[in-house]
């Protein structure tokens, strides 16, 4: 069983994938003993074929070893394991450790970037970093200040170093990069600072810029073909973005690209989503604000867009569309299809044909979602593919300086950056979710470069008339759009899930528990209180014939910003401080790796 396909990586590799993808990345992902990419595989499935730890014995799991990163605040992402080396990253200042798994985790090398700490002030949602990437014998570190460094994986020596953005105008980085073929694909953060989102491809060999595709603006700068790039099967047409904004607003219009990236080597397409339009005051930016809040499929070589799908036109709630795209080959309506599944901040779980961008399923993955009655699925309708907005929860219709109350989900979304996992054994998706609602009061704001460009006051609280908690961990059927089971959690589940061939699904909680549940039933099989709240993603690897489970602790992220940044005023942290105030009864700041094993 151990050599079962990992996503679709192995199969491809064996069918002569050398012309596709990046050979070294594919080769390393192909070894199930390793965790060679933050997302588990190019498909973002976060599934491991390792099965030593299984639903029967996981109850006996114990801590094998631990490692303090030496840094506090939110620890997102996970370590990588390549060969006998584990690579551990930290939030700002984005240190990287190479640990020798053959020598008790001895530190082989440490890389400590010297960054101007002023960048912290322009990071919206904690000093998080979703982890390093590996390609061609290099560790790719994308720092908070947008410095992208390629390090020799064996020695930690710098190979090349470039700058991908400018923190002086609010451009920062929190995302991992995606190495594809001879390129590395890079996003940008700063939607709360009016940054103009884009994706850039640099040469893996020397960091030279190869193509750049903005989320907004003129067609040429977006790398779209008005005739060939489609939206729900139709060409997007000329100036699709420009015509959806007032005047020059697209220049400070957000649509940043701080989430996860997927890649389909056969189609040679990369997939990712764009973030919220800036500002959060919708009245200030009439139009659909294209292409914010959009799933994008682009050619990996040229960056040219194949298709877009805008989930939340003219966002009124900060429902960034950047969550991961999980690529699977499944049967739907009796047909084998290449699917893309995406759990959006807006509370809708989307299933699309990833070749064509056809919308197949769009269903709420939390029954609390109330801002929309649902997505129009009629291809012949004027509003095909658009969510129907409930007037009561429309912050635009209620207007500036009016507090729209009881909106579900909150701006954090039904899910934020915390990635879901897919098990090909159960054909289910395992989704860490938020069960949080909000009041949202937009106000007029002026743009100043490098200053917050937010324009709304928020407060957050657990979904009313529910279980009282702020999260659920759910199993989802993407072909029918159904919740299979749902585990209530006191706080949002801000940690990424891991599914394994052992029929176990792992996730972490904001209080700090690592939990293992039965992949079929959701029954809790194991839990352990790690040092600090978990917002990292659970990973697994095998070393010297033994399977391990690893996870970073270190409370923070947007949900934990109160603890992370020492804020106590409920409306601070863009409204999250009040909502998660009770977290301080359970955990304190940290920064630790905990590795588990069977005895």
Q: Which spans of this chain sit near a copy of itself (rule: CB under 8 A)?
A: 60, 62-63, 65-72, 97, 104-107, 110, 512, 528-532, 553-554, 584-594, 599
Q: Which does 128 bind (CB under 5 to 8 A by kind): ligand PQQ, a copy of itself, none?
A: ligand PQQ
DSSP string, 280-349: S-GGGS-S--TTTTEEEEEETTT--EEEEEESSTT-SS-----S-EEEEEEEETTEEEEEEEEE-TTSEE
Q: Which does 284 bind (CB under 5 to 8 A by kind): ligand PQQ, a copy of itself, none?
A: none
Does the bond joining 98 to the residue before it have cis omega, within 30 degrees of 0?
no
Determine contact, residues 264/12, Cβ cutoff 8 Å: no
Nearer to a copy of itself, 123 or 563 (CB): 563
Strands 62-68 and 504-508: unpaired
Nearer to ligand PQQ, 51 or 171 (CB): 171
Nearer to ligand PQQ, 192 or 366 (CB): 192
Nearer to a copy of itself, 107 or 205 (CB): 107
**Min dist. Cβ of residue 471 to ligand PQQ (A):** 14
Positions in the binding site for ligand PQQ (CB under 6 A) = 76, 124-126, 128, 174, 189-192, 256, 258, 275-276, 318, 320, 412, 416-417, 557-558
Nearer to a copy of itself, 115 or 329 (CB): 115
**Min dist. Cβ of residue 98 to ligand PQQ (A):** 24
Q: Which does 532 bind (CB under 5 to 8 A by kind): ligand PQQ, a copy of itself, none?
A: a copy of itself
**Min dist. Cβ of residue 194 to ligand PQQ (A):** 10
Nearer to ligand PQQ, 128 or 222 (CB): 128
Nearest alpha carbon to residue 441 among 454, 432, 451: 454
Nearer to ligand PQQ, 128 or 153 (CB): 128
Under 8 Å CB-to-CB from 382, ≥6 apart: which residues? none
Q: How many CB atoms sit inside 10 A of residue 431's CB? A: 29
Q: Which does 545 bind (CB under 5 to 8 A by kind): ligand PQQ, a copy of itself, none?
A: none
Strands 428-434 and 421-423: antiparallel
Q: Calculate the CA dihedral of residues 117, 118, 119, 121 and round it to 10 degrees.
A: 120
Nearer to ligand PQQ, 47 or 258 (CB): 258
The CA distance from 164 to 149, in Å, is 10
**Min dist. Cβ of residue 78 to a copy of itself (A):** 16
φ, ψ dihedrals at 55, nearest 5°: -60, -25
Q: Which does 586 bind (CB under 5 to 8 A by kind): a copy of itself, ligand PQQ, none?
A: a copy of itself
CA angle 75–488–599, rounded 5-degree value: 60
The CA distance from 416 to 559, in Å, is 10
Nearest alpha carbon to residue 142 among 93, 176, 107, 97: 176
**Min dist. Cβ of residue 487 to ligand PQQ (A):** 21
Q: Which does 531 bind (CB under 5 to 8 A by kind): ligand PQQ, a copy of itself, none?
A: a copy of itself
Under 8 Å CB-to-CB from 314, ≥6 apart: which residues? 277, 282, 285, 286, 287, 288, 289, 396
φ, ψ dihedrals at 511, nearest 5°: -70, -20
Three-state DSSP string of 388-436 = EECHHHCHHHHCCCCCEEEECCCCCCCCCCCCCEEECCCCEEEEEEECE
Q: Which does 72 bind (CB under 5 to 8 A by kind): a copy of itself, ligand PQQ, none?
A: a copy of itself
**Min dist. Cβ of residue 87 to a copy of itself (A):** 14
Which residue's CB comes closest to ligand PQQ? Answer: 191
φ, ψ dihedrals at 217, nearest 5°: 110, -165
**Min dist. Cβ of residue 197 to ligand PQQ (A):** 7
**Min dist. Cβ of residue 585 to a copy of itself (A):** 5
The CA distance from 255 to 290, in Å, is 8
The CA distance from 376 to 366, in Å, is 18
Q: Which does 191 bind (CB under 5 to 8 A by kind): ligand PQQ, a copy of itself, none?
A: ligand PQQ
Listed as own residue / partner, the contacts of 136-139 with beta carbons closer than 8 Å and 24 or more positions apart are 136/22, 136/24, 136/179, 136/204, 137/24, 138/204, 139/80, 139/87, 139/96, 139/98
51, 288, 315, 318: which is the annotated catalytic residue? 318
Enter the DSSP assignment of 259.
S
Q: Which does 599 bind (CB under 5 to 8 A by kind): a copy of itself, ligand PQQ, none?
A: a copy of itself
Active site residue 315: no
The CA distance from 8 to 30, in Å, is 9
Nearer to a copy of itself, 427 or 584 (CB): 584
Nearer to a copy of itself, 467 or 527 (CB): 527
The CA distance from 325 to 259, in Å, is 10
Under 8 Å CB-to-CB from 286, ≥6 apart: which residues? 246, 314
**Min dist. Cβ of residue 396 to a copy of itself (A):** 41
Q: Which does 125 bind (CB under 5 to 8 A by kind): ligand PQQ, a copy of itself, none?
A: ligand PQQ
Enter the DSSP assignment of 17.
G
- Across-strand partners of 68? 592
Nearer to a copy of itself, 18 or 112 (CB): 112
Helix (H, G, I), strand (E, B) or coil at 145: coil
**Min dist. Cβ of residue 452 to ligand PQQ (A):** 11
Q: Which does 219 bind (CB under 5 to 8 A by kind): a copy of itself, ligand PQQ, none?
A: none
Supply the Cα-derived Rg of the chain in whole angstroms.
Answer: 22
**Min dist. Cβ of residue 592 to ligand PQQ (A):** 18
Could you give the residue numbers annotated as active site? 318
């Amino acid at each position: 069983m151990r050599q079962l396909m990992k996503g679709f990586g192995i199969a491809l590799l064996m069918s002569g994938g050398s012309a596709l993808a990046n050979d070294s990345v594919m080769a390393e992902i192909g070894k199930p003993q390793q965790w060679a990419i933050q997302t588990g595989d190019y498909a973002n499935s976060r599934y491991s074929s390792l099965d030593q730890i299984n639903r029967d014995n996981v109850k006996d799991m114990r801590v094998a070893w631990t490692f303090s990163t030496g840094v506090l605040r939110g620890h997102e992402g996970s370590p990588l394991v390549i060969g006998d080396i584990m690579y551990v990253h930290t939030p700002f200042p984005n240190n990287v450790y190479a640990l020798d798994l053959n020598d008790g985790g001895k530190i082989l090398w440490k890389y400590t970037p010297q960054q101007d700490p002023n960048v912290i002030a322009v990071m919206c949602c904690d000093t998080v970093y979703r982890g390093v990437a590996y390609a061609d014998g290099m560790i790719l570190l994308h720092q908070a200040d947008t410095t992208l460094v390629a390090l020799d994986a064996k020695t930690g020596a710098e190979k090349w170093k470039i700058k991908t953005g400018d923190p002086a105008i609010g451009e920062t980085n929190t995302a991992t990069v995606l190495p594809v073929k001879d390129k590395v694909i890079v996003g940008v953060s700063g939607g709360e600072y009016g940054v103009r989102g884009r994706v850039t491809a640099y040469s893996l060999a020397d960091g030279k810029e190869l193509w750049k595709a903005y989320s907004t603006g003129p067609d040429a700068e977006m790398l779209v073909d008005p005739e060939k790039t489609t939206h729900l099967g139709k060409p997007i047409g000329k100036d699709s973005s420009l015509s959806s904004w007032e005047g020059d607003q697209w220049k400070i219009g957000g649509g940043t690209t701080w989430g996860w990236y997927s890649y389909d080597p056969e189609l040679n397409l990369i997939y990712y989503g764009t973030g919220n339009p800036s500002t959060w005051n919708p009245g200030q930016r009439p139009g659909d604000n294209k292409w914010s809040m959009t799933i994008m499929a682009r050619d990996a070589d040229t960056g040219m867009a194949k298709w877009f799908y805008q989930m939340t036109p003219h966002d009124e709630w900060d429902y960034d569309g950047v969550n991961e795209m999980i690529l699977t080959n499944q049967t739907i309506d009796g047909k084998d299809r290449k699917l893309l599944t995406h759990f959006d901040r807006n509370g809708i779980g989307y299933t699309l044909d990833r070749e064509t961008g056809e919308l197949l399923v769009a269903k709420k993955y939390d029954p609390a979602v109330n801002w929309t009655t649902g997505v129009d699925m009629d291809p012949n309708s004027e509003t095909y593919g658009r969510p129907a907005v409930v007037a009561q929860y429309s912050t635009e219709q209620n207007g500036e300086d009016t507090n729209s109350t009881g909106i579900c989900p909150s701006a954090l979304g039904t899910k934020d950056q915390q990635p879901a996992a897919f098990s090909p054994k159960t054909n289910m998706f395992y989704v860490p979710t938020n069960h949080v609602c909000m009041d949202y009061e937009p106000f007029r704001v002026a743009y100043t470069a490098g200053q917050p460009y937010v324009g709304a006051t928020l407060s957050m609280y657990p979904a009313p008339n529910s279980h009282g908690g702020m999260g659920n961990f759910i199993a989802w059927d993407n072909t029918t759009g159904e919740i299979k089971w749902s585990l209530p959690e006191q706080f949002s589940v801000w940690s990424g899930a891991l599914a394994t061939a052992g029929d176990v699904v792992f996730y972490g909680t904001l209080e700090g528990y690592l939990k293992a549940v039965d992949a079929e039933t959701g029954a809790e099989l194991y839990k352990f209180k790690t040092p600090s709240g978990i917002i990292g993603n659970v990973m697994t690897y095998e070393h010297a014939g033994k399977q391990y489970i690893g996870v970073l602790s270190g409370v923070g992220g947007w949900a934990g910003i109160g603890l992370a940044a020492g804020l106590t005023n409920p409306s601070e942290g863009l409204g999250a401080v009040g909502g998660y105030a009770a977290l301080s009864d359970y955990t304190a700041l940290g920064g630790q790796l905990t590795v588990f094993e069977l005895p």
